[in-house]
Structure 1
Amino acid sequence: MKMKIEMIPEAELVYIQRRGSYGLGNIQTMEKLKAWAMVKGLLNDESIILGVPWDNPTVTKPEDCRYDAGLIVSDVQQISDDDVHIGRISPGEYAVFVIDHTAESLERAWSNLFLDLSKQGYQLDGSRPIMERYAARMVKNHRCEICAPIR
């Protein structure tokens, strides 16, 4: 996988969280967020959506795995909805992997991520989550990114 190192700044986001096995439910949560954001007029060509799987499914029971579908926003003051929460992205250095925006490519990337980091001499920073980043400009070209926090 192609990798670059990037400093990701702190940012505010709105998100919807679900619990359960990773997979189809994550996609449904992402679609729910996008529909909500479209109604609120928050989606445009500059939008960045994040998928954040908080738990390792090899050590966390599938029904307890948490997944956030989030949208980076500039003004959270206008947000009020029971299903939508407000959060922040922790700033820091990330290894960013650019991949095709397909289920197969995402699955392959997640399988190879830790080995690829190790081969490049980087160590994962467990204090920040790994994020799938879907920038509108990249998704239009059928690409997305996995951002792994490093130290």
Structure 2
Amino acid sequence: MPLEIRQLPAMRLAYMRQTGPYGPALTQLWERFGQWCSDRGLSEPRPKYYGISHDNPACTPPEQCRYDACVQIGVGLRTGTEALVQDFAGGDYACMQFTGTGPEMGAAWAGMTAPGQIPAGWELAARPAIEVYDEHFAVNLLTGAFPCWLCLAVQRAP
């Protein structure tokens, strides 16, 4: 099934970064970030959360892979020393709905770049991939599965 092209908006994001292999450490990052958001009143009403993968683990040594757990914020929020702020430029992304576990996510990302997956007229762009966790996001406690959108940066092919 071809990916869906979506326009993601430019946003100001508060984030915490994990540098190291993608995997179980990201669960701990999200738990720490979720508590930080809750302590600052950023969890109610429930916002969208974003996970930004800055590096492709197929090309980058695992210990150098960078991942940001993010939430959109306004201009006046002071993050303190635990979190930083970045401006996300937004743009065009080839996206697919994912439901599965953390260990299954790597194969889903890899499958997105298989021949025929990126819609005709589009090509990958040199911007980070992003996960979008909608407001109704929840982890199934029995299976560990969760829903999110996986989004690869794209641009119009020449």
TM-score (norm 2): 0.83
Aligned runs of 1:10-21 on 2, under 5 Å? 10-21=10-21
Q: Deviations over 1:32-75 (max 9, x none)?
A: 111100111101344111111111222222111111111112x1
1-side partners of 2:38 and 2:78: how far apart? 13
Cα deviation, residue 14, structure 1: 0.2
- The amino acid across from 1:82 in the alignment is T
Q: Distance in 1 between matches of 2:21 and 2:101?
A: 19
Q: Is residue 149 of structure 2 the alignment partner of residue 145 of structure 1?
A: yes
* Distance (Å, rounded) in 2 between the aligned partners of 1:50 and 1:111: 19
Is 1:56 matched up with 2:60? no
Aligned length: 149
Task: Report SS of the residue matched to 1:80.
Answer: coil
SS at the partner of 1:22?
A: coil
Root mean square deviation of aligned Cα: 2.2
Which stretch shows the higher mean deviation, 47-56 or 139-148?
A: 139-148
Q: 1:136 to 1:119 in 2, by over 3 A?
A: closer
1:31 aligns with 2:35: no
CA gap 1:44/1:106 in 2 versus in 1, 3 angstroms: farther
Corresponding residue SS for 1:79 = coil
Percent of aligned pairs sharing the same letter: 27
CA distance in 2, matches of 1:110, 1:131: 10
CA contact (8 A) 2:3 2:112 kept: no
TM-score by length of 1: 0.86
- For structure 2, the residue ranges without an aligned partner over 5 or more in a row are 141-145
Aligned residues of 2:98 and 2:148 also touching (Cα < 8 A): yes
Alpha carbons of structure 1 residues 103 and 80: separation in structure 2 relative to 1, 3 Å: closer
Q: In 2, Cα distance between the equivalents of 1:123 and 1:27?
A: 31
Of 98-107 and 43-52, more deviation after overlay is shown by: 98-107
Q: Structure 1 pair 92/106, CA: closer, same or farther in 2 (3 Å)?
A: same
Structure with the higher fraction of residues in helix conformation: 1
Matched with 2:143 is: none
Q: 3-state DSSP class of the match of 1:115?
A: coil
Shift of 1:91: 2.0
